[in-house]
């Protein structure tokens, strides 16, 4: 009887001592997998940037040969090298200046003026039917007709991808990110609305 009691006592002690160790092992694995997840997220972003840079170079070559669609600037219009980085201004075009529009991307038109080619905010350019067709064709080729229509109407909805939101509302003013065991949470701040994404899909939004 004493042997049985001692054996049970030892088993209890051993299991108790192993319990924190098992938790530590699980925590270590969670931490390791979270770091690995973050590594691949960062890698995907770097690859996305490299692909975009190559696409931009290809576009520049094609743009030099394209006559474009003629319109004028409505305001004093900064021409950006990249719409995501507004600090890089190539040239500032005066108001009521004739320009050639080459392409459309996320609330920006790619324009040609003299020897300059860059991106100008759509609100700085006089709109016409030809420009709307450029914008519409770009979105229909990228998505289906119904999604393109909603984006043209600047709508947002649950489970939109980040790219869809950018096409509909443009680039956010500020982005913050948190990575945890449940996924990657991003908050995008616009002028009067905050959008929340989980693993790249829109989950909710809140008006200020």
17 within 8 A of 23, measured Cβ to Cβ: no
What is the C-alpha to C-alpha distance for residues 90 and 125, in angstroms, rounded to an integer?
A: 17
Which residue has tokens 């699980």?
26
Is 3.30.428.10 the CATH classification of the domain at 143-208? no
Task: Give the model confidence (pLDDT) of 24-53 as tens digits.
Answer: 788 888 888 888 888 888 888 888 888 877
Model confidence pLDDT, tens digit, residues 105-150: 888 999 999 989 999 999 999 999 999 998 999 899 999 899 999 9
* Topology classification of domain 66-142: SH3 type barrels. (2.30.30)
Give tens-digit pLDDT for 147-175.
Answer: 999 999 999 999 999 999 999 999 899 99
Question: Are 109 and 101 spatial neighbours (Cβ–Cβ below 8 Å)?
Answer: yes
pTM (predicted TM-score): 0.62
Average pLDDT, the chain: 85
């Amino acid at each position: 009887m004493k042997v049985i009691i001692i054996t049970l006592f030892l088993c209890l002690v051993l299991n108790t001592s192993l319990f924190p160790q098992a938790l530590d092992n699980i925590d270590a694995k969670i931490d390791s997998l979270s770091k690995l997840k973050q590594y691949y997220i960062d890698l995907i972003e770097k690859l996305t940037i490299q692909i975009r840079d190559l696409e931009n170079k290809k576009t520049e070559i094609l743009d030099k040969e394209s006559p474009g669609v003629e319109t004028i600037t409505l305001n004093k219009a900064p021409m950006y090298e990249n719409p995501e980085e507004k600090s890089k201004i190539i040239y500032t075009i005066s108001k009521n200046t004739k320009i050639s529009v080459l392409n459309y991307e996320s609330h920006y038109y790619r324009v040609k003026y003299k020897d300059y080619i860059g991106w100008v905010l759509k609100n700085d350019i006089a709109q016409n039917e030809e420009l709307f067709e450029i914008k519409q064709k770009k979105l229909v080729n990228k998505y289906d007709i119904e999604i393109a229509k909603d984006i043209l109407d600047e709508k947002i909805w649950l489970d939109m991808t980040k790219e869809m939101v950018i096409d509909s509302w443009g680039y956010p003013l500020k982005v913050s990110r948190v990575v945890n065991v449940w996924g990657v949470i991003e908050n995008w701040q616009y002028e009067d609305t905050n959008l929340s994404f989980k693993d790249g899909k829109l989950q909710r939004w809140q008006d200020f």
